[in-house]
Structure 1
Amino acid sequence: MGDSVTNPAAGYRIVSPELTVKAMRDNGYKNTAFALAELIDNSIDAEANLVEVFACEERPKPGQSHVRPRIETIAVLDDGKGMDGDTLRRALKFGDGRGGNSKRIGRFGMGLPNSSMSQCRKVEVWSWTNGAGNALYTYLWLDEIENGLDEVPEPVHQRVPDQWQQLSDGLGESGTLVVWSDLDRVLWYGAAATLRNTEELIGRVYRHYLKPPEEGTDHRSVDIRLVPVRDGDVIDGERFVSPNDPLYLTHPTCTPAPFADKPMFMPSDIGDEDNPGVVRLPITHNGQTHDVIVRASIARPEARQPNVSGHPWPANASPNTDAGTHPWGKHAARNIGVSLVRQGRELSLDTSWAIGYDPIERWWGVEVDFPRELDAAFGVTNNKQTATHFAELAHFDWKAEAEPGETFKALKDRLAERGDPRLPLIDLAFYLQEKLLPTMRRQIRQQRVGARKNNKRHEDEAAKKANDAINRRRDDGRLGQTDKLDQETEPEQKRQQQVDTLTNRHHIDKETAEALVDEDLAKDIRVRWISNFEDSPAFFSIDLMAGMLQVIFNSNHPLHRELMTVLEDVPDNADADALRERLSRAADTFKLLIFSWARMEDEIPGERQRAKIAEARQDWGRYARHFLDDGDDDE
């Protein structure tokens, strides 16, 4: 009541300043690293060449030796253009955008105050255009706002404190320093831990700025220095941020050895010869059309297999252990998802597009790069941490949303009439869900064909038994088509035919195919088992090649999921109960397989055709006995 009497206008504000700031503090930054990214955005927009992030801690006071050092201050200093007094003052206002420059990363003009107050109670800013000794200074302090302050204090001349000038490696003639103190919402304790938790995210968010600018883009190059400080001195752990590329196509990066200095992934089979792994999709919003660039990659064979020629794993990496358990595999697991990039800066790594329980998800990468003109279409939030419309479409099932008999085009027309905000991105979502991701997942599964890791002994044993059975039959004069072709084909022609079949028909990469064929030829193996996605109701098919009987188990058939996956993809830590459950499930699946054959015979209408099927069943039984026995029994 008293405030409204002394200042009637103040009594009718829709929201009081202190409540506004409290709401902004709860705006939803995921952690300190995301809040720091807002400050780095401002530095890049100010054309900085160097951004320095300081995390400062103090030693425990005497008698507190058991207390861990806790971070007291965080500061971000750049050598950008700096700000004049008016711009500096407006920079600390919530929601005061600074013009419509389409090259800026910032969006709502809320980054500096919003991110700062999400982590601390006091933020101070120095900015200068003519030497750090001539800096302008202002601040926001939550204590004063709660006591009624409703204007950003007018900037005053104040030189940059000596502490920061001494810590800086590149203090420029112009620049800006932002200091956070009274850190009541920073969860990390020590300076080194704070920067360690920050580095990987910052490296991914600004990966396009941490390398030389790409041709045809407006992206600049910037260095980001992370500096842990204790009692005013730099301590161990100072470093420059390396790019963290979730597509693993660039180098050098922060990826662990042996992939820090070479790509771990390769472009996927999209795009053309000039732009492998890249497609442009037009998106129309509010009558304007803009290109969205989709980049995609999948793991190189050597990332998952220890025996690729010329690409050995490190000596300390066990070849008998799954690649996902090694440092580079764990790194890839932290980069699962579709990387959504706006103006060259990552908004989020959207894990909604990945199948969380499937370990192959770590072995592909997708980047969707869009311009700021499509912010509304993507649903970009004001803290630039996600795009809501894009995230919602990760599980979009157009068939489920369509009315009976409605086509995909008719559904889009109906959504257009309704003004559905998802409409501009429907084609993009369809492309990712129905075309790109399924294709890459099939290719990644095919890489396991040549891996022969945990189940190598079982594969060799089955191949040996089958090989022995075929040799016995051939010695008895029972020649198959593969034997006849073998007699008519030169060795190099035979090798090339097998490699071509694996690469062209079954989409296995060339290096893996060649290694697989060479190993089988060296051991005189005449049977091969692979899994492949096939658009067929058959659960397996065969390739008859010179000297090679190749069986392809259809990974698109339910039998693969219910039998092969259950028996082969067994976790290393599976307990006895889990193993018993898997065996029981496999046994049930085998019974259902036999029942399905029996019902097929039952439904055949003609006696003659039914008799032929019964003969085929008996022949198969005889062949099975010959393959399963050790050769002692005759037919």
Structure 2
Amino acid sequence: MRKADATPHAAALIESMRDIGYSLETALADIIDNSITARATHIEILSDTASESPAIGIVDNGCGMTEAQLVEAMRPGSRNPLDDRDEHDLGRFGLGLKSASFSQCRRLTVVTRRQGQTSCAIWDLDEVARTNEWAISLHSDPASVPWSDRLGETGTLVVWEELDRLSSGIKHDLARGADHMNRAIAMAERHLRLVFHRFMEDGRQAVSIWLNGRKLQPTDPFARQHPGHQEDPEDRLQLVGGVVTFQCFTLPHHKSMSKEEWEELGGPEGHLRSQGFYIYRGRRLIITGSWLGLARQTELTKLCRIRVDIPNTMDASWKIDVKKASAQLPPAVRDRMRHIVERFAQTSKRTYQRRGQRLVDEHRMPVWQRVQKDGIIIYRPDPEHPALANFSEALPAELRQAFASCISLIGGSLPVDALHADFAGTAEEIRADEVDEETIRQTLEAMVPRLLAQGCDADQVALVLRQLEPFKTAWAVTEAMLKEFTKDADDE
């Protein structure tokens, strides 16, 4: 048996490494992983998008590297993925720094400082293409490197230049290229605030992440700071490679939150697509809002979010990829998660269903009746509602049947298909039409006497009406009018 040299061609392989599938946000996250692993507590992302030579830099105050360690870190495949890792190590393949950087730029510079010694190394893909050699450049004076003055006593600076992927068209149109890069950076911000939120929330050990001088605030996908959230006890599953921890959270109903809070939780894709599992590896988020084939995304389950924590000792069984953006469930974990989903999804549904049941409570005189017949739910206007019944009684006898037909027509014309489509996508944006003050007054004239006749006092009448539309939305107007009606009744 003979052997032949199969050393990969540097120029070809290093270009292939650019297409693993990173976006700007996942590439930045991979660099920040290295900073957190190096025990950094202060991380800055800096960008120069307006110049003819745009650049992005990430600088931290971590432990830094010696020159020998830097050279090793710049080597593709610097760590064997089968090696044991420290439990706080967010890396695995020894590729992240290089593959993430090459996906965005053709020139990668790393300046690092440790024990008073500063080292600098550069990967230049154009130089590799020219020489076809796996060679980096070592510089003894990094003063000309952008943002090198931001490096403290210890730490590391990563600089991306020649941003050919990110600054498409910038050589021909500086303004358009800068605008494109700024939009990409703005989109990456939300991703970083979410992926590293647990590190950013960690009390005195919190990691602060800054973007061009502005401190980023963490985005907690479980709304744990909001008093309306619900959380279950943790559930632990012991496996050969470690312990998997599950915890279920139910978000507050959108009506108990401000619009800004609700939109922040839903993110750019909205709550329907944000429900499901949030999988963390070493407290770092790797999968965001997916049922992983164990359930469907529905309107009634969109408040469900389940946190899953796995240790880095289970990377192989979970098939964690280089970008730390996808994983596959081991069979034992899939079985446990299926049971959790079946039980927990009912909690979110009850949050909505209880609200629906209150709206059609027969003791509160709803305009719409909810009728179940042969497994079908029907909504129809209630002709016995005081406002409708009083109006019907005031009509001449020959017009009453015509009025009843009009009410029946309204019920039979309910746009069910359109409502279903709207609720499936943007339920929180659906509103009932507003009514004028005269309509409120006429409805109160019909309802208040009926409630008083049933034995309700003025406070109970107000309590009932405040939970019903259209009074709930226009409560200030309703309350002022209500005092007139209940005062007259008290006088009588």
Same fold (TM over 0.5): yes
For the pair 1:378 / 2:318, whether they are aligned, the reply is yes
Deviation of the 1:352 alpha carbon: 4.5
Contact 1:360 1:445 in 2 (8 A): yes
* Structure-2 change in CA distance of 1:83 and 1:149 (3 Å): farther
The question of whether the paired residues in 1 share the 8 Å contact of 2:230 and 2:250 is answered with: yes
Q: 1:205·1:347 contact (CA, 8 Å) conserved in 2?
A: yes
Q: How does 1:70-109 map to 2 (within 5 A)?
A: 72-97=54-79, 100-109=85-94
Structure 2 counterpart of 1:21, which letter? I
Q: CA deviation at 1:358?
A: 2.8
1:571 alignment partner in structure 2: 422
1:300 corresponds to = 252
Residue 12 of structure 1: how far off its partner (Å):
2.9
Distance 2:145 2:87 in 1: 36
Using CA pairs under 8 Å that are at least 6 residues apart, name the structure with larger relative contact order, 1 or 2.
2
> Please, which of 282, 292, 304 is the counterpart of residue 364 of structure 1?
304
Contact 2:49 2:182 in 1 (8 A): no
What's the secondary structure of 1:346's corresponding residue? strand
1:353–1:182 distance in 2 versus 1, CA, 3 Å: same
Query: Retained in 2: the 8 A contact 1:203–1:243?
Result: yes
2:220 is aligned to 245
SS in 2 for 1:135: strand
The equivalences for 1:112-191 within 5 A come to 112-131=97-116, 134-153=117-136, 155-161=138-144, 163-165=146-148, 168=150, 171-186=151-166, 189-190=178-179
The alpha-carbon distance between structure 1 residues 209 and 451, as it changes in their structure 2 partners (threshold 3 A), is: farther
SS of corresponding position for 2:197 = coil
Residue from 348, 357, 377 that aligns with 2:287: 348
Alignment partner for residue 95 of structure 2, among 100, 103, 110? 110
Q: 2: distance between equivalents of 1:428 and 1:213?
A: 32
RMSD across aligned C-alpha pairs, in angstroms? Answer: 3.7
Cα shift readout 1:3-28 (whole Å, capped 9, x = no counterpart): xxxxxx9x832522222212211111
In the TM superposition, residue 385 of structure 1 has moved relative to its aligned partner by 1.2
How far does the alpha carbon of each residue in 1:301-341 deviate from its partner, in whole angstroms, 9 at most, with x for none?
4xx22xx6xx7x57xx9xxxxx97x6665665363342110
Q: Deviations over 1:40-90 (max 9, x none)?
A: 011011111111101112257xxxxxxxxxx81111011111101111011
Pairing 1:458–2:309 present: no
Aligned counterpart for 2:20 among listed residues 19, 23, 27: 27
SS, match of residue 104 in structure 1 = coil
Say whether the 8 Å CA contact 1:33–1:201 is kept in structure 2: yes
Partner SS, residue 147 of structure 1: helix
Q: Which of 279, 295, 307 is the aligned partner of 2:235?
A: 279
Q: Deviations over 1:476-531 (max 9, x none)?
A: xxxxxxxxxxxxxxxxxxxxxxxxxxxxxxxxxxxxxxxxxxxxxxxxxxxxxxxx
| Mapped partners of 1:158, 1:450: distance in 2 | 72
Can you give the 5+ residue segments of structure 1 that lack an aligned partner in the other structure?
1-8, 61-70, 215-219, 228-237, 251-261, 272-277, 318-322, 391-421, 472-562, 575-635
Q: 1:212 to 1:357 in 2, by over 3 A?
A: closer
Distance 1:573 1:385, change over 3 A: closer
Question: Which secondary structure does the structure 2 equivalent of 1:209 belong to?
Answer: helix
Distance 2:154 2:221 in 1: 34
Q: What is the rounded CA distance, in whole Å, between the counterparts of 1:263 and 1:103 in structure 2?
A: 31
* Separation of aligned partners in 1, 2:47 and 2:278: 28
Aligned residues: 370
Change in CA separation of 1:328 and 1:176 when aligned onto 2, cut-off 3 Å: closer
Is this contact kept in 2: 1:37–1:202, CA < 8 A?
A: yes
**CA, structure 1 residues 72+350, in 2 after alignment: closer, same or farther (shift >3 Å)?**
same
Structure 2 residue 331 is the aligned partner of structure 1 residue 439:
no
What is the deviation of 1:362? 3.5
Q: Helix, strand or coil: the match of 1:244? A: coil
Shift of 1:427: 2.3
- Residue 209 of structure 2 is matched in structure 1 by 224
Alignment of 1:409-558 (within 5 A): 422-436=330-344, 438-449=345-356, 452=359, 457-458=367-368, 465=383
> How far 1:462 moved relative to its partner?
6.2
Q: Match of 1:172, as an amino acid?
A: G
Contact 1:93–1:152 under 8 Å retained in 2: no
TM-score when scaled to structure 2?
Answer: 0.66
Deviation track 1:259-299 (CA, whole Å, cap 9, x = no partner) reads xxx456321xx32xxxxxx22222x2xxx252211122112
Q: Distance in 1 between matches of 2:188 and 2:156?
A: 21
* Equivalent position SS for 2:352: helix
Q: Is 1:199 matched with 2:189?
A: yes
Q: How far does residue 447 in structure 1 lie from its aligned partner after superposition? A: 4.5
Instruction: In structure 1, give the amino acid aligned to 2:76.
Output: F
Task: Write out per-residue CA displacement over residues 574-602 of structure 1, whole angstroms, 9 at most, x where no aligned residue.
Answer: 9xxxxxxxxxxxxxxxxxxxxxxxxxxxx
User: What is the distance in 2 between the residues matched to 1:162 and 1:147?
Assistant: 23
C-alpha separation between the residues in 1 aligned to 2:178 and 2:79?
Answer: 34
What is the Cα deviation at residue 459 of structure 1? 5.1
The answer as to whether partners of 1:247 and 1:296 remain within 8 angstroms in 2 is no
Residue 35 of structure 2 is aligned to residue 55 of structure 1: no
Deviation, 1:346, is: 0.7
- AA of the residue aligned to 1:97: R
**1:84·1:129 contact (CA, 8 Å) conserved in 2?**
yes
**How far apart, CA to CA, are the structure 2 residues paired with 1:160 and 1:443?**
61
What secondary structure sits across from 2:274 in the alignment? coil
Aligned partners of 1:204, 1:376: CA distance in 2, in Å?
25
**Pair 1:265-2:229 in alignment:** yes
Question: SS in structure 2 opposite 1:208?
Answer: helix
Amino acid at match of 2:100: S
Matched letter for residue 214 of structure 2: R
Contact 2:368 2:382 in 1 (8 A): no
Please report how far the alpha carbon of residue 243 of structure 1 lies from its aligned counterpart in structure 2 after TM superposition. 0.9
- Return the offset for 1:151: 3.1
Q: What are the superposed Cα offsets for residues 224-270 of structure 1, whole Å, 9 maximum, x if unpaired?
A: 1101xxxxxxxxxx4111111111214xxxxxxxxxxx456321xx3
SS of residue in 2 equivalent to 1:58 = coil
Distance 1:434 1:572 in 2: 22
Contact 1:77-1:175 at 8 Å conserved across structures: yes
Contact 1:126–1:160 under 8 Å retained in 2: no
**5+ residue gaps, structure 2:** 168-176, 361-365, 371-378, 390-413, 426-492
Structure 2 Cα separation of the partners of residues 136 and 194 of structure 1: 30
Contact 1:378 1:425 in 2 (8 A): no
Q: Which amino acid aligns with 1:174?
A: T
Would the aligned equivalents of 2:241 and 2:314 in 1 still touch at CA under 8 Å?
no
Q: Distance in 1 between matches of 2:354 and 2:11?
A: 58
Q: For 1:155, what is the secondary structure of its paired residue?
A: strand
* One-letter amino acid of the counterpart of residue 285, structure 2: E
Check 1:152–1:451 CA distance in 2 against 1; reply closer, same or farther (3 A cut): farther
Q: For the residues of structure 2 that align with 1:40 and 1:247, how far apart are their CA atoms? A: 23
CA 1:162–1:25: 2 relative to 1, 3 Å? closer
What percent identity do the matched residue pairs reach? 23
